[in-house]
Amino acid sequence: MRKKLTMILVVVFALLVCSAGTMAASEGRIIYVNCNATGDNTGSSWVNAFTSLQAALEVAQPGDEIWVAAGTYKPTSEYGLGIGERGKHFEMKNGAGIYGGFAGTESTRSGRDWTAHSTILSGDIGVEGNASDNCYHVFYHPAGLALNQTAVLDGFTVTGGVANSGLNESSPNVHGGGMYNYNSSPTLTHVTFNGNSTHRRGGGMSNDHYSNPTLTNVTFSGNSTSGSGDYTVYGFGGGMYNNDHSSPTLTNVTFSGNRAGVYGGGMYNNDSSSPTLTNVTFSGNNSSGFGGGMTNHYYSSPTLTNVTFSGNSASGSGGGMYNYASSSRLTNCILWGNSGIQIYNTDDSSATVTYSDIQGGHPGNGNIDADPLFVGPGNLRLQAGSPCINTGSNDAVTVTTDLDGNPRIVYFNVDMGAYEFEEPLPPSSPAWPFGSSLTAGNVTQNGLTLTWTAATDDVGVTSYKIYKNNNILDTVNLDTVDGTPTPYNVTGLTSGTRYVFKVEAGDAEGNWSATGPSVTVTTAASKQIIYVNCNTTGDNTGASWSNAFTTLQAALDVAQPGDEIWVAAGTYKPTSDYGLGIGERGKHFEMKNGVGIYGGFAGTESTRSGRDRTAHPTILSGDIGVEGDASDNCHHVFYHPAGLALNQTAVLDGCTVTGGNANGGNSASYTGGGMYNFYNNSPMLTNVTFSGNSAIYGGGMSNYNSSSPTLINVTFSGNYASNRSGGGMWNDNSSPKLTNVTFSGNSAGIHGGGMSNDHYSSPTLTNVTFSGNHSDYAGGGMENFDSSPTLTNVTFSGNSARNSGGGMYNHNSNPTLTNCILWGNSGAQIYDGSFSNPTVTYSDIQGGYPGNGNIDADPLFVGPGNLRLQADSPCINAGTNVPFEAGGVAQGVTTDLNGSPRITADRVDMGAYEAGITDLISNVLSKFQKLSAQQVKDALAIGQRIIESDTIPDILSPAQKSLLNNLGLTNAQVKSAYNSVISQLDTEEKIKDLQSGDLTKLANFLKTVEGSFDPGLRNTLEAKGITVFKAVKLTIDIAALTFDPFSNIPKADLEAILEDDLGIASETAASYGLNWANIEALRDSLRPPEKRKLKEILITIGSLSDSANLSGLTLSAGTLDPVFAPQTTEYTVLVGNDVSGFTVTPTTADANATVEVDKKTVQSGTASETISFSGNARRVKVTVTVTAQSGTEKKYTLIVLKSK
């Protein structure tokens, strides 16, 4: 037993030793560096340390740490650049950490002191103090390194890099004197960049091409960029330059005393570079041009939280911050004491600022304009009494300490700025515990309930002051409370209004706390409908149809969140320029958050669902000047500037947008003729048509800089981008979502006849068609430049480009196409330019394209301009369902562009249209019509057998196989067609009508299912019950079989089955004529004839009448002008001045057609209900709608006028 136990312990010990050895190996080794060491220079200990950092870097492996003692270290290798001494530099390594600040004796990293033992990495390799022979970079990380966060630099000063090799910006040796990162993202902690310079970009650090380093506790001081000195070549980013999607993360970082030749004394962000800054200060930085502290350029959107700018200056604009074609987001920030305007935005830029102290003021929630009371010049900490104490937003805080390393939130709210105020309040005053909050609940239109956690006090809190919008609302006296929530009901508020509430606590000795917690809340809006009708003559209040506003602008002026604007048919033009001050052409409409604009009303409806957008077009037109002369049209029909920040609660539905002509001289007036969404405007558009608009960019619509509207059932047709991009739509750094959208007949002067996506736009398109669009250079249907759209079930056909990519043109773009069709476009269907790698799967591409599930076969469109699929299209059931499944890009999309079910069989079709009930069934059954009744029965039987067995060729007889060949149908098409019908029967609510025995409803139901075919039933058959399963079966009493089932139906057949009361069937023969039917038993039954019942009637499908004409139309008053003719659809009727009402009598040419007068059904040849003139109205519009058996519809319009 003892021997066995000993053996176990030996094994366990051995395992532990192996485990420990494995752990040690994975943790790497420590490599020591000390410039004063005198040992064997192996780096194995402090005594035997390497004396140069380069020696350690050359042997370091992933997992190693390099410990560097105090001293100065200079690069000794140029890593094969071959450009001489000045090309020498250091290179970091993935997985290796470089740590400075050691005295040279420590055994742990935590024992070092980088302040007391300064470790300097210097580029001053030549004559000491002569910068002309310094290294271009102290650190240079070219593209091949691809450094990530495992490459660590910690505890150093980086100085003496001079990147001044000429002025050519393509050379790396004019960027990043201290460190130049190209596609590298190392981690830097406790590092100072001081005294570095460049000619062009990033004196201290330059980050280029997707470089996203992480900086914590880093200082940039005294770095510079010079430029050419004569403004012909600019210097950017004295401290840091970020370019081409480079977005570093900076926490607890200081920029001070840096200088730029032209832009961005402290930091410059360019070309979609959007760093994140937290607890950062900018002070004493300068630029010779713009943006003393920071410049943001070309689609850069930095996020700043608790950042302080003070004492920065620029010779031009924006002493604190300068934004050009960019947007910035600032929360809990301070900008005070910088030269000129603290934040300067060009016309196409914006800053979203909240809970910040901005000298001179700035719009935004929680902002103030008050001296922050810094401790002193250069000391940006807050004094007691600063208005910035406890006035920030905790929601934005993601760190636990401030720039000093002290707790980030001391009291209940975070302070503004990089430093948290630490001085405690006098003990005699009530105090608010950490985390105290004020909340608003039970919010109604006129009231709410405030609840807060009680303050604490040495003698006890006895009262609270409650403030509303900085005015005392009430003082509540109460017994001492000890932390329980305290409710207070507020009444008398105004609906849809924003309020700011805060509380202060008082004690029995009259001491009051500092301002306590606060809350901002908006009361509920009172929803109302605002009516607009350009033809009304009422009191113009918008309160009803009869008193509707006559202009849309009047309704927009009074609309509040929650309101709906209902707009009757007619043409409406902008009448306000919203203060732009640029003249008549600056007039435009502006949508509002929480407000829906709905067109398509006749002007009498009481519900939104009652409108008919097609019959009652609502047109929003920019043609405000000479009719038909576009030169004086509005620049935009809709213009949404940055401050609106529209979201999906801003709705436009049921309108046509036309006549915008954005051909002005700047970006605000040459972009987006129909609609221009500028910076962070993302409204909702449904059932809207953009037609006949023009612009330089985005004829129909332009979405710029984080504007991503949602479009459903929208059409872009006949729009034009005159000499640039995006005839239908132009997206720039924006990603709209399009579902069931059509682009047809749009054109562009250069790129993207239908759509152009530029600068990191990633729109999502589902069920979209591009047809007949044209560009004069590239991308007839779509052009992508630095963009990656996602396309699902999108069809491109008939698009053209004079140069490349009739369907799609890509440059430095990676679109994703799934279930798409590109066929019949000019040139290459997809042209991939430089650095483009589309992902194309389960798509039909003419000429072929690599990717799973792709085909190269004629999609068999129904016809030119009709991109639906014929029955035998190879695109049917050839797509993948993955985009429509949970988590897919098209999840929740259940219909195709036609509104039919998106997936009717096992797999989705390719393209925008599913070959469903209205397409595939009609195509298949149209072929059935050419067959005999028996062949039709056989074809349907094939479908039934396939459904039942889910196998195809093995179950078919030779005759059935021959039939399919003759039909030209595949088994899968018959199965899909048959399955679609059964699916409809199984899911339609109208199946209840079938079971009730109402044969008229049955006939109407099958019309809706099969479109162009009718079972031809007449309601003269007494039915005892109906069942539906793969065919129409009617169980009836044979004694009632006296009917005319097939009058006027040339192709039909009838089969009957007789069965006696014991269930014994008789063979039968069934025949019928125009007015009779006969069923005979071919085999006698033992039961008497009266006991035999008709078990089933199987009826095949016949053709429907397509006539939707009237044969007569009269009114009880007045005479039609012109004289009635079946093909004439528009009439004027003049009646006497004393006529208050009239009736309309329509007569259909086909007795099987139905007729409606103003959507109310009437019998052919009978008078309608009385139609009255409303109030003082002298004009009434009447619509008579005739619907044929086949579903064909024709409308007759009557304008009835009173004589004067």
The residue count for the chain: 1204
Q: How far apart are CA 446 and CA 665, in angstroms?
A: 47
pLDDT of 1091 strictly over 80:
no
Find the angle CA(725)-CA(731)-CA(736) to the nearest 5 degrees. Answer: 145
If pLDDT is split at 50, 70 and 90, which confidence band does 24 have?
A: very low
Q: Give the pLDDT mean for 858-880.
A: 87
User: Quick one: tokens of 783?
Assistant: 């052009």
DSSP string for 196-251: -EESSB-SSEEEESS---EEEEEEEES-EE-TTSSSSS--B-SSEEEESS---EEE
| C-alpha distances out from residue 307 to 52, 248, 356, 905, Å | 38, 15, 9, 58
pLDDT of 785 strictly over 80:
yes
Kindly state whether residues 291 and 150 are assigned to the same domain. Answer: yes
| Region of poorest pLDDT, from 10-14, 383-387, 559-563, 864-868 | 10-14
In a domain, 841, yes or no: no
Buried b (16+ CB within 10 A) or exposed e, 464-497: bbbbeeeeebeeeeeeebeeeebebebeebebbe
Q: How far apart are CA 795 and CA 823, in angstroms?
A: 8
Asked if 309 and 321 count as a contact pair (C-beta separation under 8 A), the reply is yes
Q: What is the 3-state secondary structure (H, E, C) of 1090-1134?
A: HHEEEEEEEECCEECCCCCCEEEEEECCCCEECCCCCCCCEEEEE
Q: Give the pLDDT mean for 917-937.
A: 41
From the list 162, 161, 120, 165, the residue with the least C-alpha distance to 138 is 161
Kindly state whether residues 249 and 163 are assigned to the same domain. Answer: yes
* Residues 6 or more apart whose Cβ sits within 8 Å of residue 309: 281, 282, 283, 293, 294, 320, 321, 333, 334, 335, 336, 338, 342
pLDDT of 921 strictly over 50:
no
> What pLDDT shows up at residue 1112?
93
> In the listed set 82, 110, 135, which residue is the last one of a domain according to the structure?
135
pLDDT of 787 strictly over 60:
yes
Which position has the token pair 């935005």?
345
Kindly state whether residues 1064 and 1138 are assigned to the same domain. Answer: no
- Calculate what percentage of the chain has a pLDDT beyond 70: 79
In a domain, 353, yes or no: no
Judge if the upstream peptide bond of residue 901 is cis by omega within 30 degrees of 0: no
> What pLDDT shows up at residue 514?
67
pLDDT of 1182 strictly over 80:
yes
Kindly state whether residues 983 and 996 are assigned to the same domain. Answer: no
Across the chain, what does the average pLDDT equal?
Answer: 81
> In the listed set 1046, 1075, 1103, which residue is the last one of a domain according to the structure?
1103
3-state secondary structure of 553: helix
In a domain, 1048, yes or no: yes
pLDDT of 97 strictly over 90:
yes
Kindly state whether residues 1125 and 1196 are assigned to the same domain. Answer: yes
Kindly state whether residues 62 and 189 are assigned to the same domain. Answer: no
From the list 500, 504, 351, 520, the residue with the least C-alpha distance to 436 is 504
If pLDDT is split at 50, 70 and 90, which confidence band does 1190 have?
A: low
3-state secondary structure of 153: strand
Residue 667's φ and ψ, nearest 5 degrees, are: -65, -25
Kindly state whether residues 470 and 323 are assigned to the same domain. Answer: no
Per residue in 685-716, pLDDT (tens digit) is 999 999 999 999 999 999 998 899 999 999 99
Crossing angle between the packed helical segments 971-987 and 999-1010, to the nearest 10 degrees:
140
| C-alpha distances out from residue 789 to 326, 703, 755, 879, Å | 22, 14, 11, 19
Q: 1174 or 940, which is more confident?
A: 1174
In a domain, 757, yes or no: no
If pLDDT is split at 50, 70 and 90, which confidence band does 102 have?
A: very high
Using the 8-state DSSP alphabet, how is residue 584 labeled? G
pLDDT of 313 strictly over 50:
yes
Asked if 304 and 282 count as a contact pair (C-beta separation under 8 A), the reply is no
Asked if 699 and 725 count as a contact pair (C-beta separation under 8 A), the reply is no
Pairing assessment for the beta strands 764-771 and 790-797 based on DSSP bridges:
parallel
Kindly state whether residues 981 and 1011 are assigned to the same domain. Answer: no
Kindly state whether residues 1004 and 972 are assigned to the same domain. Answer: no
In a domain, 70, yes or no: yes
Per residue in 1032-1076, pLDDT (tens digit) is 233 333 233 322 333 333 333 444 444 445 555 544 444 443 333
In a domain, 329, yes or no: yes
Domain at 274, CATH number: 2.160.20
Kindly state whether residues 146 and 238 are assigned to the same domain. Answer: yes
C-alpha atoms less than 13 angstroms from C-alpha of 501 in its C-beta half-sphere: 25
From the list 1054, 1030, 836, the residue with the least C-alpha distance to 934 is 1054
- Give residue 225's identity as a one-letter amino acid code: T
Per residue in 471-505, pLDDT (tens digit) is 888 888 764 344 455 688 999 998 878 888 888 88
pLDDT of 980 strictly over 70:
no
Per residue in 789-811, pLDDT (tens digit) is 999 999 999 999 988 899 999 99
In a domain, 960, yes or no: yes
pLDDT of 567 strictly over 70:
yes
Per residue in 415-434, pLDDT (tens digit) is 999 999 986 555 567 777 76
pLDDT of 1092 strictly over 80:
no
Q: Give the pLDDT mean for 88-97.
A: 97
> What pLDDT shows up at residue 958?
57
**Domain count across the chain:** 6
Using the 8-state DSSP alphabet, how is residue 79 labeled? T
Q: How far apart are CA 236 and CA 201, in angstroms?
A: 5
Residue 1199's φ and ψ, nearest 5 degrees, are: -105, 110
Alpha carbon of residue 1105 to chain centroid: 46
Kindly state whether residues 954 and 1083 are assigned to the same domain. Answer: no
Q: How far apart are CA 900 and CA 1047, in angstroms?
A: 32
> What pLDDT shows up at residue 323?
92
Per residue in 593-639, pLDDT (tens digit) is 999 999 999 999 999 988 999 899 999 999 998 988 889 999 999 99
- Give residue 1029's identity as a one-letter amino acid code: F
Q: Give the pLDDT mean for 994-1007.
A: 34
> What pLDDT shows up at residue 906?
75
Q: Give the pLDDT mean for 203-225.
A: 96
pLDDT of 1015 strictly over 60:
no
Q: How far apart are CA 732 and CA 870, in angstroms?
A: 37
> In the listed set 346, 362, 389, which residue is the last one of a domain according to the structure?
346
> What pLDDT shows up at residue 232?
53
Q: How far apart are CA 367 and CA 342, in angstroms?
A: 14
If pLDDT is split at 50, 70 and 90, which confidence band does 533 have?
A: very high
In a domain, 186, yes or no: yes
Per residue in 181-195, pLDDT (tens digit) is 999 999 999 999 999
What pairs with residue 188 in β-bridges?
A: 153, 215
Kindly state whether residues 260 and 325 are assigned to the same domain. Answer: yes
Domain of 1152 in residue numbering reads as: 1110-1202
> What pLDDT shows up at residue 200?
85
Q: Give the pLDDT mean for 66-73.
A: 98
3-state secondary structure of 478: coil
Which position has the token pair 């600019």?
234
